[in-house]
Amino acid sequence: MQADLSSYRIKELAYQSGFDLCGVASPAVIPEARRQFNEWLDSGLNGEMTWLAANIDRRTDPTRLMPEVRSVIMLGLNYFQPDRQEKSEGFGRVSKYARGKDYHKVIEKKTRNLIERIRADLASHSVEAGEKFAAKWWVDYGPLLERTYAAMAGLGYIGKNGMLINRKYGSWIFLSEIVTNLELEPDDRLAVNHGRCGKCTRCIDACPTGAIIADGVVDARKCISYLTIERPSSIPEDLADRMGDWVFGCDVCQDVCPHNGRALVTSHREFTDDSGVGEFLNLKAVISLQSREDFLGLTAGTPLTRPKLEGLQRNAAIVCANQSRPR
């Protein structure tokens, strides 16, 4: 569908809907990204996240998501907030992305708002254009290699830690995407994509478990974020010993990244500490939870529901053991 809107206008509407970043990419398959993703899966680096190996074509080819797709609109939200001072023993640290409200729900509201703004803008030019407009959207649980398409849309580049790094916001970005039948001018990623990792290896050197095994390649089976959130079974002792005080997620590879030294504090109150569980969890309180109702009383509306009660209590017990060990 030929658009009556320009890519510039789409970005204006995205910013009006509350997004910090917006770019447009072609829906073409990116062969190198598909090859790398297949190699990562073939090596078993996805661990127990078996769903990632399902429908590989849908993850690497936007036409499988929408046959009439003409453009991919990539969107970003800044979630950075500085850490407080160290808490005393008995508390476990929560990754920055999970301290406030569940970002899936926050992004869903903003994305639906953007789609309605686009539809209304099209309809103001032509009723037929508004009626023919089609769009589907996803957050990170959707079937698309979002970081790759975000890089193609000029939102940043993929660093050695596998994160998308933006010049303004660093890597503290939530991503989402809209596939649409609008034929929009794609961004020139080479013109707007600044920065590279160069010879820097700080994220690789700092990773407590050695999970970054090559430039842009993360072995999920060793990653603390995967271990504390996605792994349903027990955590091997040698990895548990290196989890430190991380009770949910991990920010080490991002905290040490030089590009994040200039990160801007988020303007989205939904992601701040007072909107969710905050930076630290009381470990004894977590271990003492008796029921699913108690668990949801603590975690409902936040990303911490993901590992379920058993997983969060497992993590809390590991952090307690790590803190009681002589340093």
Residue (of 78, 76, 64) closest to 24 by Cα position:
76
150, 23 Cβ separation under 8 angstroms: yes
Number of H helices, E strands in the chain: 14, 11
Cα distances from 93 to residues 103, 255, 279, in angstroms, run 19, 14, 6
Rounded-to-integer distance, Cα 249 and Cα 261, Å:
20
Q: What is the DSSP letter of 195?
A: -
- In terms of Cα–Cα distance, which of 99, 108, 102 is closest to 75? 108
Residue 41 and residue 49 in contact, taking contact as beta carbons nearer than 8 Å: no
Evaluate whether 180 touches 13 at the Cβ level (below 8 Å). no
Task: Please tell me the distance from the alpha carbon of residue 85 to that of residue 314, in angstroms, as a whole number.
Answer: 25
Task: Say whether 251 is catalytic.
Answer: no
H/E stretch holding 180: strand 173-180
Catalytic residue, chosen from 140, 241, 255, 294, is 140
Return d(Cα 25, Cα 203) in angstroms, integer: 28
Compute CA distances 78 → 53, 202, 287, whole Å.
29, 22, 32
Catalytic residues: 140
